[in-house]
Amino acid sequence: MTQADDRILETLTDSGLTLSPRVLSVNTDYSRHYLSTRLGKLADAGLVDRVDEGLYRITDHGHAYLEGDLLASDLEKEE
């Protein structure tokens, strides 16, 4: 997990919306390409869902991670 991952999850949570890497890029200091890569990793970890091509939303696991109920070390064990 990176600082960008936390920022992505926080932005998805705060907005309550399904967002694209482009929209996330406008609202964070990260490039669209980098965010696309990180979103893929977050989807693999079950923290975000890819709901359509290039559109993502946070999952219950993502919310649990932000709330401290799910640790990054727990995610590594699941992989």
Domain presence at residue 7: yes
Domain presence at residue 79: no
5-57 pLDDT, tens digit per residue, is 999 999 999 999 999 999 999 999 899 999 999 999 999 999 999 999 999 99
Concatenate the DSSP letters of all residues of the chain into one string. Answer: --HHHHHHHHHHHHH-S-B-HHHHHHHSSS-HHHHHHHHHHHHHTTSEEEEETTEEEE-HHHHHHHHTSS-HHHHHHH-
pLDDT at 78: 54
Identify the CATH number of the domain in which residue 54 sits.
Answer: 1.10.10.10
Domain presence at residue 28: yes
Domain presence at residue 35: yes
Domain that residue 46 falls in: 3-72
Domain presence at residue 51: yes
Q: Indicate the number of domains in the chain.
A: 1
pTM of the model: 0.90
